[in-house]
Amino acid sequence: MSDDYIYDEATGEWISPSDAAAAPAESPDGGVEVRDAAGNLLADGDSVTLVKDLKVKGANQTLKRGTVIKAIRLTGDAQEIDCRYEGIKGLVLRAEFVRKR
């Protein structure tokens, strides 16, 4: 048995090399894969549909289920996507609440 451990920056824990092999998959270009609620792979420029009503903090507005968001941008985080919607600047959505069109 080896006493070598790897520091995982995402969790802040020291893990064994065998556990590091089971880490989340990265895309071939070195970025993080972002998947929607149905498990589809998302990319920059995709259009998505909301699968749940979402209250937008600071905008006093609710985005209804079925709302189409066009031209998303990936942030480098596996759970967040950056997007624009009329009247809301700096909108960041969780990938678990959208579905690829």
CA gap 17, 2 in Å, rounded: 9
Tens-place pLDDT, residues 34-82: 999 999 999 999 999 999 999 998 888 999 999 999 999 999 888 999 9
Nearest to 2 by CA among 22, 21, 16, 14: 16
| Res 13 pLDDT > 70 | yes
CA angle 17, 22, 28 (to 5 degrees): 105
pLDDT-based confidence at 27, cuts 50/70/90?
A: low
The whole model's pTM is what?
0.68
DSSP-based three-state secondary structure for 4: coil
Query: Scanning the structure block, which residue is given the tokens 């451990």?
Result: 5
